[in-house]
Amino acid sequence: MSDDDVDLELLDLMRKRWGVGVQDSGPPETKVLENAHFICDNSMDVALDMRSTKLAAQLVLDEMEKREYSASTWSEHELHPKAKDESTVNFIFTMDLLNFSFWSEKSDQDRFAVVYKGRRWTGYWSLVAILQRALEQEIPITNPDFWVDEERCSDHVLRTVFSSGTDEEIPLFDQRVRCLREAGQILEEEFDGSVVTLIEDAKNSAAGLVNLLADKFNCFRDEGKFENKKVRFLKRAQILVADLWAAFDGQGYGEFNDIDKITMFADYRIPQMLHSLGIIWYCPPLENKIRRLETIESGHSWEMQIRGCSIWAVELLRREILKLKPGAKVNAILIDFFLYDLAKEKEKEESEVIPHHRTRSIWY
């Protein structure tokens, strides 16, 4: 190559890294809400009820105000980290990297559970307890450098970290190990081994960080095809951003200038709650399958309709709340957090609600 030749590879690298010569296409967009609207408009087996949505908006608003529900509620739980520093950033990244598939076909007594601080934790909270327990035992489970060191972080060590208080091991153990190893390698190669660097590269954009996660990490690329169109759900990428925002009270590592672009996190608990509120309805064959506790394959049209319609339902619920109280500090994140807590309350009360749909997947 002569001195006058252009190094196209270097130029492309500079454009990607610093935006040199890249045309500004406007603020980042995740397309999750847009795709959810498309799914809802073309859904044949899942429907939304606007009358129930309006009634539920008043109920949700009243309850959120009565409980003084806000982003700070996240940090109030005893298992969530309290420090406002890089250790919490790493904890949240690890937590949401592994935040999937906790449901069990076994009884509540026999299902995967973790005993920690004298209590028995199941579901999502079992994962948070696992991480806290490991850190107390001086196992650096939230350190990306640890994940890629297969001598210190062997599969045997990870089985000990994820050990259960019952005979059932954590679901999808091998996939969780794969997620850790892959993420550690990508962080090392692209972000100097630092989750903070990853966050800083998003330049305070929630949508930008979601897109960055989906672009760089296979295990965050939660997408599918519906009616021959690519659709995005990005549940765990979005909840990572939401958890950062909540944990840091919208400041520091949790400061995002477009946080309201984050949608509801399409999993199985919120659709269950939306159904009990009469907001979401299923066709008889789908409802029967759910009530019979039969598995719906990941990527099946029914599953994507449930997820897409749930995202759009929460968006409509948010709009109805703002009609009731313009200026209310409410977004899809807070509604999702609130409905999740409500679902867990009803579970404890053994209230009559439809079972959640069952899909075994790393996406939620």
pLDDT at residue 344, rounded to an integer = 82
Angle between helix 50-66 and 301-324 (nearest 10): 60
pLDDT at res. 343: 84
Q: What are the DSSP E strand ranges found in 117-249?
A: 119-121, 223-226, 229-232
CB of 130 within 8 A of CB of 189? Answer: no
Q: Determine contact, residues 50/316, Cβ cutoff 8 Å.
A: yes
pLDDT score of 282: 98
Could you give the dihedral angle defined by the CA atoms of residues 32, 37, 42 and 47, in that order, rounded to the nearest 10 degrees? 110
Which pLDDT value is given to residue 6?
A: 62
Nearest in space to 305 (alpha carbons), one of 292, 286, 319: 286
What are the residue ranges in the chain where pLDDT is below 70? 1-25
Give the C-alpha separation, 36 to 56, whole Å: 20
What residues are labeled active site?
A: 267
Q: Write out pLDDT tens, residues 63-86.
A: 999 988 888 889 999 999 999 999
Give CA separation, 224 vs 85, 89, 233, in Å.
35, 29, 8
Residue 123 in contact with residue 288, Cβ under 8 Å? no
For residue 22, what pLDDT is reported?
46
**pLDDT for the residue numbered 342:** 86
Strand partners, 223: 232
Whole-number pLDDT of residue 347: 77
Question: What token pair was written down for 192?
Answer: 């100097």
pLDDT at 191: 98
Using alpha carbons only, give the angle 250, 255, 256 rounded to the nearest 5 degrees.
110
Q: What is the pLDDT of residues 198-208, one digit of tens each?
A: 999 999 999 99
Give the separation between CA 66 and CA 236, rounded to whole angstroms. Answer: 29
Which among 175, 356, 146 is positioned nearest to 271, based on CA atoms? 356
| Whole-number pLDDT of residue 2 | 54
- Helices and strands (DSSP H and E) totals, the chain: 16, 6
Residues 5-42 as b/e (b if ≥16 CB within 10 A, e otherwise) read eeeeeeeeeeeeeeeeeeeeeeebebbbbebbbbbbee
Of residues 211, 207, 302, the one with CA closest to residue 257 = 207
Q: ∠ CA 228-231-234 to the nearest 5 degrees?
A: 155
